[in-house]
């Protein structure tokens, strides 16, 4: 099963992150220096002397980048915008409101439940 399919099955999201320089960037002070990666397993920042396993440091950087990407608003979508309702529902509500206004009676909802 692919990761996107697994995410859909579990209700999760898959966010693509550019992994460039995540193994060379310090997860504490965010300085990028290739000399900080001493070996395959050791990361020691040349700026703040933070020491950690290199893969754990890279994973923290990827997590931070993914969270930042997820926090960005989608283009063309207003913050706090509501999803459009079903087209049939809007038409039915409009017709019910129009008929209720002319007859001076309580507006009918045409069988559509109203959420409070």
| Residue 111, Ramachandran bin (φ over 0: left; ψ between -120 and 50: alpha; else beta) | left
Which of 19, 54, 18 is closest to 35 using CA atoms? Answer: 54
Closest CA to 52 of 62, 37, 67: 37
39, 41, 64: which is closest to 54 by C-alpha? 41
Chain segment 46-81, per-residue pLDDT in tens: 999 999 999 999 999 999 999 888 887 766 655 555
Is the pTM value of this prediction over 0.85? no
* pLDDT in the model for residue 95: 62
For the chain, the first-to-last Cα distance in angstroms comes to 41
Higher confidence at residue 39 or residue 13? Answer: 39
Average pLDDT, the chain: 78
């Amino acid at each position: 099963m692919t990761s996107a399919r697994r995410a859909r099955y579990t209700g999760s999201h898959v966010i693509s992150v550019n992994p460039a320089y995540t193994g060379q960037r310090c997860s504490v002070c965010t300085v990028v220096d290739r000399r900080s990666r001493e070996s395959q397993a050791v990361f020691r920042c040349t700026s703040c002397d933070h020491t950690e396993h290199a893969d754990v440091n890279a994973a923290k950087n990827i997590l931070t980048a993914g969270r930042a990407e997820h926090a960005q608003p989608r283009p063309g979508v207003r913050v706090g915008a509501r999803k459009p309702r079903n087209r049939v529902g809007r038409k039915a509500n409009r017709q019910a409101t129009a008929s209720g206004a002319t007859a001076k009676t309580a507006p009918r909802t045409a069988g559509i439940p109203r959420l409070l």
